[in-house]
Amino acid sequence: MNRQEFPILGREVHGHPLVYLDNAATTQKPRSVVEAMTEEYYNVNANVHRGVHFLSQKATDLHEAARESVRRFINARSTSEIVFTRGTTESINLVAATFGQECMRAGDEVILTEMEHHSNIVPWQLLQARKPISIRVCPITDAGTLDIEALEQLISPKTRIISVAHVSNVLGTVNPVEDVIRMAHAHGVPVLIDAAQSAPHMPLGVQALDADFVAFSGHKMYGPTGIGVLYGKEEWLERIPPYMGGGEMIGKVTFEKTTFNSLPYKFEAGTPDYVATTGLARAIDFIESIGWADIQRHERELTQYALEQLQSIPDIQIYGHKAETGDPVISFNVGNIHHLDLGTLLDQLGIAVRTGHHCAEPLMRRLGVEGTVRASFALYNNKEEIDALVAGIRRVSAMF
Catalytic residue IDs: 359
Task: Please give the full DSSP string across 239-285, using - where no structure is assigned.
Answer: HSPPSS-SSSSEEEE-SS-EEEPPTTGGG--S---HHHHHHHHHHHH
Residue 27 host element (H or E): none
Question: CB within 8 A of 253, min separation 6: which ones?
Answer: none
Question: CB within 8 A of 331, min separation 6: which ones?
Answer: 170, 171, 172, 318, 319, 320, 321, 358, 372, 373, 374
Amino acid at site 66: A
For the sheet with 213-217, list strands across it: 82-85, 228-232, 213-217, 191-194, 159-165, 109-113, 134-138
